[in-house]
Chains A and B, each alone.
Chain A
Amino acid sequence: MEHLLSIKDLHASINGKEILKGFSLDMKAGEVHAIMGPNGSGKSTLSKVLAGREEYEVTSGTVIYKGENLLEMSPEERAHQGIFMAFQYPVELPGVNNTYFMQASLNAIRKARGEPELNSLNFMKLVRTKLKALEMDENLLKRSVNTGFSGGEMKRNEILQMTLLEPTLSILDETDSGLDIDALKMVSKGVNSLRSPERSMLVITHYQRLLDYIQPDYVHVLSGGRIIRSGDKSLALELEEKGYGWLQQEAAA
């Protein structure tokens, strides 16, 4: 089976400093991959490069998504092609109504795919169902995007967008950071509701905790800008027990 996403020997830098140093990863449709790693290993850089943040410069390597060169696509084209990144730090958009924003997002994607846009009434129906599933307060729809939201509200709002847009490839960038256990369960529930043979997920996290709720097919350890170890979910448990040090030492040896 062809890979949904194939990353080969990726090197990327910001402000002239190389962060990713030969990162490679293959993902098939339906798979959930977890990327774990210590601070500064390149986790966030990876998610930003995949989402299309222009400040990051890819100096070599390839990223093929659905058979096409992902690196040539603008951030919005990537979204149109089914890529969604749940931000580690969602951005506040003062004065931009949350519902209006999500409707604009969904319709921009539908339009790009040649699908009919949803009118406000149908969109509201849709968003209410999704909201209920995540046990979110309807007031969040009336407020400005992420403005004055608590950490937990922001992350739920990310997952709400994810369940609305039904992406083919979801990238969860440290979605668990700053969440209490209830919020973590709710977020995981939303993510798990999207699991299907067509969808893939790249779960980037520092801690094993999230992986109790979102069970990955594969776990990769990122260190120094490349994967130093891959395994199944038992690798995450081993890391939880031993920390990252032993793997880093092995890799250096």
Chain B
Amino acid sequence: MSAALLDYYQTLAANVPNEHAYQAVGKQRLGLVELPNRKQEAWRYTPLAPVLEHQFAAASREEGLLEPADIASLRVTPADHVCVVLLNGFFMPELSTLPAQAGLEVLDLAQAIQTSAVGIERLGSLSGECLHLFGAVNAALTSAGAYIRVTDKLAQPVEIMHINYSFDGEVLSNPRVLVQVEANASLTLLEQHAAFADVLGMHNGVTEIFLGEGAALNHPRLQNDSLRTRHLSSLYIQQAASSVYKGTTLALGSAWSRTEFHLDFSGGHAHCELNGFYLAGEQQMQAMHLDVLHSVPDCSSRESFKGILYGQGKAVFDGNILVKKDAQQTDARLSNDNLVLSREAEIDTKPRLEIYADDVQCSHGTTVGQIDPEMLFYLRARGIPKSAAMGMICQGFAAELIAHCDYPALETKALSILQERLMPVAAAL
């Protein structure tokens, strides 16, 4: 099977013309790469059958499938704000809202490549050459996605809406998003992966984010794909001196979901905050994979991840922080807390600090627990029925993390999805 799947993706890639240089890197890599397997450290705890036992067809641009009204109900930003719609990975101008705004450039990635937009040569420079199978597939196939460049402090947020929806069977979407926040500019970039219909497809997205000196990006992400979708998001972030990145990923949907964060600092006094929440219930698998590299001195990072597991849900937290020899005065804190509501649920958590500098402050901590009986009794003693009390405890556990989004409309949406999912679970406990 393995050889057949590799052949399949190689053939897919070979039939796609090269629009930019990085596609060749992807194609070459496809000829060398192994299938992901559990002997590889990065995939050790991630079940792979859901993504390796399907031959997903490459998505194509489908116009007229959705209407602007379909998007309106999914948005969390006001209707007149910039909203980029990527349907099966393709930039859809007729579904997007693209008002001109000083200090902001938003383009279809394909157009940015054709017109050699500023910084387009950065494409692929963070994701690099050592790609795994799906990274290589994305690199080889992709000239679609979005290009965002910010040169000012923007007050209005920008929203990106990913929708995977097709009648053409099991489709693989391969968007690539390039975000450049230039020196001293700032932006709130909201991303949603919305469940438009109950489809089986695979999302294989790559986002590369460059923060210039003194730049700031708040980046809340809500992954609420349909419960049959396979979802892989790889984020690559590079921070110049004194920049601030704050990313909050809420992974609620998908049958199989993996989010990879690859972050590196190129200048001192930069700060990054990576927050994540995952909900793994029923037959879901949620994986969070962190690769935070402190290669220069005087940077700080906070990584806080929380999850709720129920039913036969499974979650993987694989958090790595590497502090290199020269990265003195690094301040890094990693935590992972899990609330497990059933016997059948499984969490594999592996926080790891690898430190080669001698003057640093680093810590990590992990908890795996059940609903605290003291909390439950306190709520019940106040007249709140047991199932509602359990729901409140779970919501509270998640709400602390979700509040990091700093965008109330998105937080409310996430909490209401959570409540809808957890209410029947709490009632059955």
Indicate, yes or no, whether A interacts with B.
yes
How far, in Å, is A189 (CB) from chain B's closest CB? 22
Interface status of B384 (Cβ within 8 A of chain A): yes
**For residue A110, which residue of chain B has the nearest CB?**
B383
**For residue B384, which residue of chain A has the nearest CB?**
A108
Check A91/B374 contact, CB under 8 A, given A76-B386, A96-B399, A104-B392.
yes
How far, in Å, is A81 (CB) from chain B's closest CB? 10
Can you report 10 A-B residue pairs in the complex whose CB atoms are below 8 A from each other?
A51-B381, A75-B380, A75-B381, A76-B380, A76-B383, A79-B381, A79-B383, A91-B377, A93-B393, A94-B397
Interchain CB contact under 8 A, A95 and B381: no
Interface status of A52 (Cβ within 8 A of chain B): yes
Interchain CB contact under 8 A, B384 and A76: yes
Residues from chain A with a CB closer than 8 A to the CB of B383 are 76, 79-80, 105-106, 108-109, 112, 165
Instruction: Work out how many contacts link A and B, with CB atoms closer than 8 A.
Output: 80
Residues of B within 8 A of A (CB): 372-375, 377-386, 388-389, 392-393, 395-400, 403
Interchain CB contact under 8 A, A94 and B381: no
Check A108/B388 contact, CB under 8 A, given A75-B381, A80-B383.
yes
Check A93/B375 contact, CB under 8 A, given A101-B392, A104-B388, A144-B396.
yes
**A-B residue pairs, 4 tightest by C-beta:** A95-B396, A79-B383, A96-B396, A95-B399
**For residue B394, which residue of chain A has the nearest CB?**
A95
**For residue B306, which residue of chain A has the nearest CB?**
A95
How far, in Å, is A126 (CB) from chain B's closest CB? 16
Q: How far is the CA of A85 from the CA of B393 in the complex (A)?
A: 20
- Give the residue among B372, B385, B396, B400 with the most A Cβ atoms within 10 A: B396
Interface status of A6 (Cβ within 8 A of chain B): no
Interface status of A74 (Cβ within 8 A of chain B): yes
Q: How far is the CA of A78 from the CA of B392 in the complex (A)?
A: 20
Q: How far is the CA of A241 from the CA of B382 in the complex (A)?
A: 37
Check A95/B380 contact, CB under 8 A, given A101-B392, A108-B385, A108-B388.
no
Interface status of A65 (Cβ within 8 A of chain B): no
How far, in Å, is B184 (CB) from chain A's closest CB? 33
Interchain CB contact under 8 A, B378 and A95: no
Residues from chain B with a CB closer than 8 A to the CB of A108 are 382-385, 388
Query: CB-CB contacts of A160-183 with B at 8 A, as 1s and 0s?
Result: 010001000000000000000000
Interface status of A90 (Cβ within 8 A of chain B): yes
Residues from chain A with a CB closer than 8 A to the CB of B379 are 93, 101, 105
Interchain CB contact under 8 A, B396 and A94: yes
Q: How far is the CA of A80 from the CA of B398 in the complex (A)?
A: 28
Which of A53, A80, A144 touches B377 (beta carbons < 8 Å)?
Answer: A53
**For residue A171, which residue of chain B has the nearest CB?**
B381
How far, in Å, is B305 (CB) from chain A's closest CB? 15
Interface status of A23 (Cβ within 8 A of chain B): no
Residues from chain B with a CB closer than 8 A to the CB of A74 are 380, 386
Check A94/B374 contact, CB under 8 A, given A75-B380, A79-B382, A108-B384.
no
- Besides A53-B377, A95-B400, A105-B382, 19 more A-B contacts (Cβ < 8 Å) are A55-B373, A74-B380, A75-B377, A75-B380, A75-B381, A76-B386, A79-B380, A87-B378, A87-B381, A90-B378, A91-B374, A93-B392, A93-B393, A95-B403, A96-B399, A106-B383, A108-B382, A109-B383, A165-B382
How far, in Å, is A24 (CB) from chain B's closest CB? 24
Q: How far is the CA of A123 from the CA of B197 in the complex (A)?
A: 39
Residues from chain A with a CB closer than 8 A to the CB of B388 are 104, 108
**For residue A106, which residue of chain B has the nearest CB?**
B383
Q: How far is the CA of A144 from the CA of B403 in the complex (A)?
A: 12
How far, in Å, is A206 (CB) from chain B's closest CB? 22
How far, in Å, is B392 (CB) from chain A's closest CB? 6
**For residue A112, which residue of chain B has the nearest CB?**
B383
**In A127-161, which residues have CB < 8 Å from any B CB?**
144, 161
Check A93/B378 contact, CB under 8 A, given A74-B386, A79-B383, A108-B383.
yes
Q: How far is the CA of A67 from the CA of B381 in the complex (A)?
A: 20
Q: How far is the CA of A101 from the CA of B382 in the complex (A)?
A: 9
Q: How far is the CA of A94 from the CA of B372 in the complex (A)?
A: 12
How far, in Å, is B196 (CB) from chain A's closest CB? 30
**For residue A77, which residue of chain B has the nearest CB?**
B383
Q: How far is the CA of A78 from the CA of B377 in the complex (A)?
A: 12
Which of A52, A101, A144 touches B381 (beta carbons < 8 Å)?
Answer: A52
How far, in Å, is A160 (CB) from chain B's closest CB? 12
- Give the residue among A108, A109, A161 with the most B Cβ atoms within 10 A: A108
Residues from chain B with a CB closer than 8 A to the CB of A75 are 377, 380-381
Q: How far is the CA of A79 from the CA of B384 in the complex (A)?
A: 9
Residues from chain A with a CB closer than 8 A to the CB of B375 are 91, 93
Q: How far is the CA of A79 from the CA of B388 in the complex (A)?
A: 15
